């Protein structure tokens, strides 16, 4: 894909971006009409190949993302790419997303999956490649084509993900237009994509402005905004593990995940021990003057983190604030007395800087965490480090966060890396955060569910109807569609007649034919092997190129594909006109 240029702004670029959005959405709509007919096996084969391709390119993509954006750490970007391509993939692989997905026999209800339609996927600059991999996988698993709108600062790396996964998807049989990516990215183009009539649903990950734009586009939308996650250390906690978990979460990819820790709240009884542990593992406690200096360079007048410091190391932030810190410093810790505009470092910071609060007990800690969540992280994520199950449950009951991770980093726990939560890179914030769901987003959120509902309580019961009367069982789910056709004996007779006109002797006796009483009404077994009479090549093949198709056309035969066969685009185009390729069942 062509590279995205940062320059060349103006009305011509806006118009080009709008036109590109329209074209990609229209192509995706065409693809949607094809992919909706795919079987579960075909969809899974496409997802398998895309995940495998993303795994193979995980490290180059990590390097490209850091080089292009300047955010984060290559090793951590690699972990996130592999998380999306491996752990998310392993989670969604067994999901049923085609046909009958659930049967509620006790209620006589059958649930059938229906794809939402074309997805507009908005991708952030902070986690560009991992989010793109993740959104493509969950969309295609749900049989939904997707069009990506990259953040302009990460256009090349996001486009590269789309290119890699498009190639893999095509080789596995996905129709053209299944994956699209805007290359001329402007605000106007992104808005056009979200509003386009062919787009059915929006997956938005980014800043609050972007998320609000997604929700105002007039389409169903899943949006995720800022996190500002607090981590509370209660007096019964394992102090060493709690401190290490918090530093691990805050320094992972230099804090660019929206669920990374932004504040630490500590019971005063253990405050000194916690401080000592933080210092031992690379924490540097700022003086009041240094707190002001860091706030001045890190927080903008709009109370947002400065883009120049997002995803940068603690040493770099200290250098920009003209503060001398030990070379082993991993995180800057700012002791604060309150939350809000008078305390700039109480916001989401997206770099290794932590606010630090001391409270009397868990009840005061509970209130402080609420204040922090209200100041920019409603509904998102927080952590509690404690061995007291009663306190842990109280936090679960009272906090306005929908992911409360226990004794683990918020960064890793929220996305399902170290917890049993659904693995995801888009985390719903529910009603508290202005989102439609509080779930970790998966293919299930890109499906509409149709329901067959059988009568279980007659509206006009017969005189002798009993409420306890047993209902007839639901019909069994067919393994394959039963299509109307010619009766078996009629078909055999027609075949015998046809072969006799060509000089072949028919040895099938209708009475002793395989088509006997044990044969299903619409199921026809194959004829005995007659080499010169069958145009189909019996052996399935694993790879087909254009020359193979030409030779098959010349020989008057067909090519039977193996289960995971690779067909080049040129071969598939040539075969389409002559109906030469036979797909596996």
Q: What is the 3-state secondary structure (H, E, C) of 293-316?
A: HHHHHHECCCCCECCCCCCCCHHH
Measure the CA–CA gap between 471 and 225, rounded to whole angstroms.
49
Contact between residue 542 and residue 559 where contact means Cβ atoms under 8 Å apart = no
Q: Which helix (H) or strand (E) holds 15?
A: helix 11-35
CA distance 539 to 348: 60
Burial class of residue 335 (count of CB atoms within 10 Å of its CB; 0-12, 13-18, 19+): middle
| Phi and psi angles of residue 130, each rounded to the nearest 5 degrees, phi first | -65, -40
Got the DSSP string for 106-125? Answer: TTTEEEEEEE--EEEEEE-S
Distance CA(91)–CA(78), nearest Å, equals 19
Catalytic member of 181, 258, 366, 429: 258
Active-site annotation holds for 181: no
- Let me know the angle formed at the C-alpha of 149 by 145 and 151, rounded to the nearest 5 degrees: 150
The Cα–Cα gap between 291 and 353 comes to 10
Please tell me the distance from the alpha carbon of residue 342 to that of residue 575, in angstroms, as a whole number.
Answer: 69
Output the DSSP codes for 249-306. Answer: HHHGGGG-STTSEEEEEEEGGGHHHHHHHHHHTTEEEPPHHHHHHHHHHHB-TTS-B-
For residue 112, with 0-12 CB atoms within 10 Å meaning exposed, 13-18 middle and 19 or more buried, which class applies? middle
**Distance (Å, rounded) from C-alpha 488 to C-alpha 485?**
9
Handedness of CA 48, 52, 58, 60 (dihedral sign): negative
Catalytic residues: 258
């Amino acid at each position: 894909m062509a590279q995205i240029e940062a320059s060349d702004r103006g009305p011509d670029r806006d118009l080009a971006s709008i036109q590109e959005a329209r074209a990609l959405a229209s192509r995706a709509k065409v693809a949607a009409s094809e992919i909706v007919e795919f079987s579960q096996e075909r969809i899974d084969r496409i997802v398998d190949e895309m995940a495998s391709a993303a795994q193979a390119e995980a490290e180059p993509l990590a390097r490209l993302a850091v080089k292009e954006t300047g955010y984060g750490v290559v090793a951590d970007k690699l972990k996130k790419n592999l998380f999306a391509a491996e752990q998310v993939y392993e989670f969604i692989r067994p999901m049923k997303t085609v046909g009958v997905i659930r049967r509620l026999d006790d209620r006589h209800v059958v649930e059938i999956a229906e794809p939402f339609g074309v997805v507009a996927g908005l991708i952030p600059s902070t986690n560009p490649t991992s989010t793109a991999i993740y959104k493509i996988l969950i969309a295609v698993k749900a049989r939904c084509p997707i069009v990506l709108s990259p953040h302009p600062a990460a256009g090349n790396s996001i486009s590269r993900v789309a290119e890699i996964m498009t190639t893999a998807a095509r080789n596995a049989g996905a129709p053209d237009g299944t994956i699209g990516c805007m290359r001329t990215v402007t605000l106007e183009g992104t808005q056009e994509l979200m509003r386009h009539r062919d787009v059915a649903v929006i997956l938005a990950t980014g800043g609050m402005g972007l998320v609000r734009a997604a929700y105002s586009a007039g389409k169903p939308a899943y949006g995720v905004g800022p996190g500002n996650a607090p981590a509370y250390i209660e007096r019964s906690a394992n102090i060493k593990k709690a401190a290490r978990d918090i530093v691990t979460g805050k320094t992972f990819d230099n804090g660019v995940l929206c669920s990374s820790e932004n504040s630490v709240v500590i019971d005063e009884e253990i405050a000194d021990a916690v401080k000592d542990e933080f210092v031992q593992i690379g924490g540097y406690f700022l003086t009041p003057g240094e707190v002001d200096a860091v706030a001045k360079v890190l927080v903008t007048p709009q109370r947002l983190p400065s883009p120049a410091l997002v995803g940068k190391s603690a040493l770099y932030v200290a250098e920009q604030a003209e503060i001398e810190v030990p070379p082993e410093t991993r995180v800057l810790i700012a002791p604060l007395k309150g939350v809000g505009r008078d305390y700039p470092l109480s916001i989401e910071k997206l770099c290794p800087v932590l606010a630090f609060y001391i409270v009397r007990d868990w009840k005061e800690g509970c209130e402080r965490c609420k204040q922090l969540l209200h100041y920019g992280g409603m509904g998102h994520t927080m952590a509690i480090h404690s061995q007291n199950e009663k306190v842990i449950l109280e936090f679960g009951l009272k906090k306005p966060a929908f992911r409360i991770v226990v004794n683990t980093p918020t960064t890793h726990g929220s996305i399902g890396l170290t917890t049993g939560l659904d693995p995801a890179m888009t985390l719903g914030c529910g009603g508290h955060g202005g989102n439609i769901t509080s779930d970790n987003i998966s293919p299930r959120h890109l499906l509409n569910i149709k329901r067959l509902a059988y009568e279980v309580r007659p509206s006009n019961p017969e005189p002798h109807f009993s409420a306890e009367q047993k209902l007839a069982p639901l019909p069994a789910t067919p393994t394959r569609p039963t299509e109307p056709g010619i009766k078996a004996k009629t078909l055999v007779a027609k075949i015998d007649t046809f072969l006799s006109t060509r000089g072949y002797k028919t040895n099938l006796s209708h009475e002793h034919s395989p088509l006997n009483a044990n044969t299903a009404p619409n199921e026809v077994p194959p004829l005995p092997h007659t080499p010169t009479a069958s145009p189909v090549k019996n052996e399935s093949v694993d790879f087909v190129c254009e020359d193979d198709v030409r030779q098959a056309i010349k020989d008057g035969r067909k090519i039977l594909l193996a289960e995971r066969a690779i067909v080049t685009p040129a071969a598939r185009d040539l075969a389409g006109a002559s109906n030469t390729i036979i797909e596996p069942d």
